[in-house]
């Protein structure tokens, strides 16, 4: 159950999108739209539909009423039944008599699945807004820092020089991919089928004397189309009571988003460690404080993003387990198990998109610290470049390959590039019939090798990759 969030810090940013009140209001929207759709199809007088619409805002959804509704939901295993009873009472007051069109032909699962479709749609918009903001900020970082050199790390160890812009571009690629997936997959269609998935009651309601089966079916499709249009949802081709692939797609896209955002947070957490000091989260009043250590400024936005990334797989697994348990014409428990997991996953993803946007927009980049850390990493980060350039010159001698001799020289001079350049130049000169690289004179050998140790000259295509990531982001936004 999503509350303000004592155990889910930050969830308040999106909890109202899917809390109990939001779910109850979505149920009422579904029922109201169904009556309106019947009116548009000619099955219900317009005045009756107006009464059903006016009744929506009169159903009490205060805290006490929601608590009573939650308790009453146990009786039928879902909240539709008790909320529908309350709605029917208010409709009767508005209409002056009972209105049989309310819920006519529907079953609880039709309403609950369509309710979740509305909730997911609201969450989808919020997630996409947050991802767009995050992507815009990351695209700016990628371009501004395309040439900002820092030490790259693989398997937690120093590797080669990279640019911070390339790191931001990598984050951006994940965010844009997630946004595309959410836009394409994080939505559910209306759900229909009736008691056993045959639409029997709805067909009977839409059949006129003398109608053929095809004519009645055309009226059913018209009714369903009006219902979907009223709710702003898609109309599927068939019944999905036990085909839970639509739910899996939506949940999967949300989980993918949390993974992409958590990956960014993991890098920020590492790079904002005091001993690394390459990044700093944006500060805000009261954020990052410690209850015991007043000097601390904890990277809370990244902590919460990582929390969400850790929690999401289990929530997705529960949705998958529920889908896998579907059987017969209506699931017996699997469908029910999806609700809380999908809701919590949706809320956490929406909150995470907001956290990520704030993080990316306010991230402070410590360029001087990046330069210092790269220098402290020593000459070893340039060993690959040395090997590529010098192996043809050094060749194999005394049973040792060029690579082995370069490695030995780097180990002997791990911090002093001038000393390493001199040592390698001396190693080259000891060889017989050495052919220096074209354009390099013997007197320039040491200086040439020293140039190979400048990390700014070994960024490969990093600048171009940064520009491409930013351009792709702009192209995506124009679509």
Q: Three-state DSSP class for 333?
A: coil
Q: Rounded distance, CA 48 to CA 338, Å?
A: 34
**Residue 365 belongs to what H/E stretch?**
strand 364-365
Q: Three-state DSSP class for 105?
A: coil
397, 401, 403, 407: CA torsion to nearest 10:
-70
Q: What are phi and psi of 93, to 5 degrees?
A: -65, -40
Residue 279 per-residue DSSP state: E
Q: Which two tokens stand for residue 138?
A: 């990351």
Q: Which two tokens stand for residue 26?
A: 């979505």
List the beta strands (DSSP E) in 6-60. none
Q: Rounded distance, CA 180 to CA 150, Å?
A: 30
Active site residue 330: yes
Q: Which two tokens stand for residue 211?
A: 């109608």
Q: Rounded distance, CA 377 to CA 24, Å?
A: 58
Alpha helices, DSSP H, located in 287-382? 300-324, 334-362, 367-376
Active site residue 401: no
List the beta strands (DSSP E) in 17-140. none
Angle between helices 108-144 and 462-478 (to 10 degrees): 140
Q: Rounded distance, CA 268 to CA 262, Å?
A: 10
Q: Given 263, 280, 330, 468, which residue is catalytic?
A: 330
Closest CA to 247 of 310, 332, 324, 174: 324
Tally Cβ neighbours within 10 Å of residue 230.
Answer: 18
Angle between helices 402-412 and 417-429 (to 10 degrees): 140
Residues making up the chain, counted from first to last: 479
Q: Given 215, 221, 290, 400, which residue is catalytic?
A: 290
Residue 292 per-residue DSSP state: S
Q: Rounded distance, CA 479 to CA 467, Å?
A: 19
Residue 366 per-residue DSSP state: -
Residue 110 · residue 237 · CB < 8 Å: no
Q: Give the rounded distance of the alpha carbon of 266 from its chain centre.
A: 15
List the beta strands (DSSP E) in 113-192. 149-154, 157-163
Do the strands 279-280 and 149-154 form a parallel or antiparallel pair, or are they unpaired?
A: unpaired
Find all residues with CB under 8 Å of 119, minimum gap 6, and list them. 17, 18, 22, 23, 26, 343, 346
Residues annotated as catalytic (active site), given as ranges = 290, 330
């Amino acid at each position: 159950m999503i509350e303000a969030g004592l155990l889910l810090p930050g969830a308040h940013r999106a909890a109202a999108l899917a809390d109990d009140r939001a779910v109850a209001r979505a149920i009422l929207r579904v029922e109201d739209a169904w009556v309106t759709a019947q009116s548009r199809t000619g099955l219900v007088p317009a005045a009756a539909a107006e009464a059903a619409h006016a009744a929506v805002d009169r159903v009490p959804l205060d805290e006490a009423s929601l608590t009573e509704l939650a308790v009453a939901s146990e009786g039928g295993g879902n909240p539709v039944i008790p909320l529908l009873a309350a709605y029917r009472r208010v409709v009767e007051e508005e209409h002056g008599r009972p209105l049989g069109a309310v819920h006519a032909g529907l079953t609880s699962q039709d309403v609950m699945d369509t309710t979740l479709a509305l909730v997911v749609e609201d969450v989808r918009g919020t997630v996409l807004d947050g991802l767009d903001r995050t992507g815009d900020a990351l695209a700016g970082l990628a371009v501004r820092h395309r040439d900002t050199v820092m030490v790259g790390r693989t398997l937690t160890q120093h590797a080669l020089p990279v640019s911070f812009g390339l790191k931001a571009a990598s984050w951006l690629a994940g965010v844009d991919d997630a946004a595309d997936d959410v836009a394409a997959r994080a939505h559910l269609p209306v759900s229909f089928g009736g008691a056993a998935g045959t639409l029997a009651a709805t067909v009977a309601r839409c059949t006129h004397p003398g109608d053929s089966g095809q004519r009645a079916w055309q009226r059913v499709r018209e009714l369903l189309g009006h219902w979907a249009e009223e709710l702003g949802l898609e109309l599927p081709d068939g019944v999905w009571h036990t085909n839970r692939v639509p739910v899996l797609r939506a949940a999967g896209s949300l989980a993918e988003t949390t993974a992409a955002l958590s990956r960014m947070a993991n890098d920020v957490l590492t790079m904002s460690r005091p001993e690394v000091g390459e990044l700093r989260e944006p500060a805000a009043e009261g954020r990052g404080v410690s209850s015991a250590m007043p000097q601390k400024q904890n990277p809370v936005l990244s902590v919460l993003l990582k929390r969400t990334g850790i929690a999401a797989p289990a929530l997705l697994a529960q949705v998958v387990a529920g889908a896998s348990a579907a059987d017969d014409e209506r699931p017996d428990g699997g469908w029910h198990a999806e609700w809380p997991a999908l809701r919590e996953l949706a809320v956490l993803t929406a909150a995470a998109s907001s956290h990520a946007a704030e993080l990316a927009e306010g991230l402070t980049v410590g360029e001087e610290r990046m330069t210092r850390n790269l220098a402290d990493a020593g000459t070893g980060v340039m060993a690959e470049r040395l090997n590529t350039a010098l192996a043809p010159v050094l060749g194999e001698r005394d049973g040792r390959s060029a690579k082995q001799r370069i490695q030995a020289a780097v180990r002997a001079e791990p911090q002093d590039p001038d000393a390493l350049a001199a040592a390698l130049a001396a190693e080259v000169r000891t060889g017989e019939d050495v052919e220096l690289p074209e354009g390099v004179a013997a007197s320039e050998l040491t200086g040439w090798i020293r140039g190979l140790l400048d990390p700014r000259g070994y960024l490969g295509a990093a600048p171009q990759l940064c520009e491409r990531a930013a351009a792709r982001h702009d192209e995506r936004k124009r679509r």
